[in-house]
Structure 1
Amino acid sequence: MQFLRRIFRGEPATGLANYRLRRRLAVGGMGEVWLAQDPDGRRVVVKRTLESDDQAILELCMADEIRNMAALDHPAIPALLDAGEHDGHHFLVLEHIHGDSLWRLSRLAQAGGSRLPDGLILRIGARIAEALAHVHSRRDDHGQPLHLVHRDVTPENMMISHRGEVKLIDFGVSHSSLNERITAPGSIYGKVAYNSPEQVLDGPVSAATDQFQLGVVLWELFAGHRLFAGGSLATVIHRIASQPALELEHFRPDLSVAVTDTVMRCLAFHPMDRHESCEQLAYRLNKLAEIMDSVEGSHYASWRATLMAQGLDPQRLPSASVHQSEPTLPQAA
């Protein structure tokens, strides 16, 4: 990618002026995200850093996010279209997904007194696991593993297009062998209620960390309850660090043992006790979805249209930005 060679050689970028910023989608400590138009009028997403007391660290983080995104090429991950520097701030341009976050969709289903269809949950989980398997398999130009880990696998970072395509987004806190220099010991990244035991205990992160986070998402979608959230930050951290995940079958006895066992294995306390890889997890989830005669993309569209016909539009829900609380599903008791 020519723009990556340019930016990392320190040469002038084409600039953010090529993109027309239309609507701010999110803002937080790391920067802001905009819906924008490229020079050809196509919708794109622009992410850029903002002024901060930790400006140098933020710019390093964004540069590392650009490097990590450039190593990825998978249909379930938005394509990196451009990157550069504008007025001393890094920016990146990504493929726009016309759809809703899994967070919005779960809230939509909750508002309608239901939850996502089980088959659809399995298909979404399988697609995210496939994306993560791709992330974990990346190598550098010399063929050495990048050890890339997403570290923020949450419903807010999963998008489903109106055609039913599933995408894993936001590599802003991703970690690899390229950016170990700015990963501070004792730091907790992403949304705490989705962190793994090794994250809250300041242990080494790995591919199994992403698998645990995906397991939390699947558990909550099936159960209709939050798994670890509730109470103070210290309480949540203590719960993750010291208590095994509650058995899914207690909340969904109607699910097959194969489904509950697959989800619960993701949530094993020790990384070595989880699935061998996200590739293996994706295979199992796809097989379970086939057995369940899962919902395909067109059926997803029908399910969404049915809820919208009841006056439940995900676009009317507030965005789950970093300034808002996490989804308010009931806490598991």
Structure 2
Amino acid sequence: MEAAPERYGSYVVYEQIGKGGMATVHRAELSTREGKQEVALKRLLPTMQKELVALFLDEARLLRYLKHPNIATTFDSGRVFGTYFIAMEYVRGPTLKELVEHCAVTTGSVPQAITLNLGAQLCDALDHAHNRCDEQGKPLGIIHRDVTPANIIISDTGTLKLFDFGLAKAKNTTEQTAVGVIKGKFGYVAPEYTKGTLDHRADLWAIGIIMYELLTSRRLFDGADAFETMMRVREMPIPRPSLANPQVMPALDEIVMTALARDPERRWPSAAAMRDRIHAVIARPGNTIDNQGVADWVRWV
């Protein structure tokens, strides 16, 4: 039996659709003059830790600068009944994590054309985030730090949506990460970050891992625990996707392996540069698929 809807300020809250270390996400509705608006309502879990409150408030502040088709739209944020919230676009569709796990036991790897399309959309989202400026025109220096398959949804129109900027770092955030503390999931954290160095290229490393996992339907860095995973990130020889999936073309191998260069100076210099290279490969015969084609394939699979 489903729980009765909850009234939370102006929102009617329905089923929980996600839960993380510091917040829950529920499907909710807001009544407007145009009718009912469906939203994803993220609410901070009860906590006495000032760091978690600061992270949540930093996310709310950063999200108002991010307005892009490939980033979940933020409608409102605030505090009701002593609980902080962020109201975001409700996106219907599977996460990339769900898609990869489903393909692993059904169809196998995600087709190259689909992977290229999703890779380009993800680069678009991060290029936007990395280059945002504040009201005075000063670069915000946003780094997502948690680009993972679980934080990406494919909508029913085939549009990729990146969300959860809860661990994002920027020049104007109030929460300062202590030296030696790593934010993000170890299997997607860049090697230089595990040693205390971080810039926007850490997000490009994560794109490389995600594209590898789409093409192979297997985790790249999957240790028995966090320490073993971190050591694999730092030291494990990185195989080309084509070793696990011989159908992967050399040009796609090159895109992924450049993103996975352990030396950031040998990685793609920006999300835009990586996206442009992906588009050059997409332009070749047989590699082009639009977002609607992605949506049709996701429904089929």
Same fold (TM over 0.5): yes
Farther off after superposition, 120-129 or 242-251: 242-251
Residue 145 of structure 2 aligns to a residue whose secondary structure is: coil
The structural deviation recorded for 1:180 is 5.8
Q: Alignment identity in percent?
A: 29
CA distance in 1, matches of 2:55, 2:226: 25
**Which of residues 33, 43, 59 is equivalent to 2:38?**
43
CA distance in 2, matches of 1:234, 1:191: 12
CA distance in 2, matches of 1:278, 1:304: 25
Residue 166 of structure 2 aligns to a residue whose secondary structure is: coil
Does 2:83 correspond to 1:120?
A: no
Q: CA RMSD in A?
A: 1.7
Match of 1:22 in 2: 14
Does 2:278 correspond to 1:278?
A: no
Does 2:201 correspond to 1:208?
A: yes
CA distance in 2, matches of 1:249, 1:305: 26
Give the letter for the 1:293 counterpart: N
CA distance in 1, matches of 2:53, 2:133: 23
CA distance in 2, matches of 1:150, 1:228: 19
Farther off after superposition, 243-252 or 220-229: 243-252
Match of 1:147 in 2: 141
Structure-2 change in CA distance of 1:193 and 1:304 (3 Å): same
CA distance in 2, matches of 1:233, 1:81: 35
Is the CA contact (8 Å cut-off) linking 2:112 and 2:287 kept in structure 1?
no
Structure-2 change in CA distance of 1:200 and 1:270 (3 Å): same
Does 2:256 correspond to 1:255?
A: no
Pairing 1:238-317 to 2, within 5 Å after superposition: 238-291=231-284, 292-307=286-301
Instruction: Please give the per-residue CA displacement for 1:139-190, whole angstroms capped at 9, x wherever unaligned.
Output: 1122111110001111111111111111111101011001264322222222
Structure-2 change in CA distance of 1:270 and 1:27 (3 Å): same
Is the CA contact (8 Å cut-off) linking 2:51 and 2:175 kept in structure 1?
no
Pairing 1:49-198 to 2, within 5 Å after superposition: 49-54=44-49, 56-179=50-173, 181-198=175-192
The structural deviation recorded for 1:304 is 2.8
Is the CA contact (8 Å cut-off) linking 1:201 and 1:241 kept in structure 2?
no
4+ long deviations beyond 6 Å: none
Structure-2 change in CA distance of 1:186 and 1:16 (3 Å): farther
Is the CA contact (8 Å cut-off) linking 1:16 and 1:91 kept in structure 2?
no
CA distance in 2, matches of 1:180, 1:246: 39
The structural deviation recorded for 1:67 is 1.0
The structural deviation recorded for 1:136 is 0.4
The structural deviation recorded for 1:16 is 4.3
CA distance in 1, matches of 2:299, 2:59: 35
Farther off after superposition, 15-24 or 225-234: 15-24
Is the CA contact (8 Å cut-off) linking 1:25 and 1:35 kept in structure 2?
yes
Give the letter for the 1:33 counterpart: V
Match of 2:217 in 1: 224
Query: What are the ranges of 5 or more consecutive residues in structure 2 without an aligned counterpart?
Result: 1-6
How many residue pairs match? The answer is 291
Instruction: Please give the per-residue CA displacement for 1:58-112, whole angstroms capped at 9, x wherever unaligned.
Output: 2111110011111111111111100111233321100111111111111222221
